[in-house]
Amino acid sequence: GEDVEQSLFLSVREGDSSVINCTYTDSSSTYLYWYKQEPGAGLQLLTYIFSNMDMKQDQRLTVLLNKKDKHLSLRIADTQTGDSAIYFCAEMRGSARQLTFGSGTQLTVLP
Amino acid sequence: DSGVTQTPKHLITATGQRVTLRCSPRSGDLSVYWYQQSLDQGLQFLIQYYNGEERAKGNILERFSAQQFPDLHSELNLSSLELGDSALYFCASSVGSTGLGETQYFGPGTRLLVL
């Protein structure tokens, strides 16, 4: 299909790991991104991965890319209450290199 | 703070009216993108400008238009507003070169409410 897909909700306990999944559609996407949106705020770039990489680690964040299955995941280690937000994956498409976003995953971190 | 600024932060207006949203990109960025975030449509690409020229259009209505000025700031004009235009409008900027230069940084958004 044409859509970038994400599950809508994820709840985890504080201190646990969170894994947010995404499937994308364009096999020619060069970069894939994760953005975070806190309530009433804009989109904060969290991390990105280049399409020739399988994994990227950045402090508590680990991005895994399975290009064959067009599957992207974001793992947040030691999840904190401040990580509660909506997480969007996005792929870059088209001549304008515009971003196509998933619907966002609402992460709730329980104490 | 991404370095992208947008004004106003909030805008309340009536149906049929016209509004202008403003965006200043990060210093050095040549490319500006506009996106609309609504509950029913999610985040959608509207239009892109690069160094003053329109580069691509997405799901932008004919009632909407944009421009990028010589100082690289951009304005999004929304006219004949309808209730369904109520949304959060984001501006993003990038260097505009290929590779990592395509990474987009978002402003805080303008929340538009049409009554």
Please report, in tens digits, the pLDDT of each residue of chain A (111 residues total).
457 999 999 999 999 999 999 999 877 777 899 999 998 888 999 999 988 889 999 999 999 999 999 999 999 999 999 999 999 999 987 666 788 999 999 999 999
Q: Which residues of A touch B105 (CB under 8 A)?
A: 45
CA angle A90, B38, B30 (to 5 degrees): 55
Of B43, B102, B106, the CB nearest to A92: B102
Compute the distance between CA of residue A67 and CA of residue A54 in angstroms, rounded to an integer. Answer: 8
Q: Which residues of B touch A96 (CB under 8 A)?
A: 33, 45, 48, 55-56, 58
Q: Which residues of A touch B45 (CB under 8 A)?
A: 96, 98-100
Tokens coding B78? 């929304």
Within 8 A by CB and 6+ apart from A82, the residues are none
Compute the distance between CA of residue B14 and CA of residue B41 in angstroms, rounded to an integer. Answer: 21
Give per-residue pLDDT as tens, B38-79. Answer: 988 899 999 999 999 999 899 899 999 999 999 999 999 999
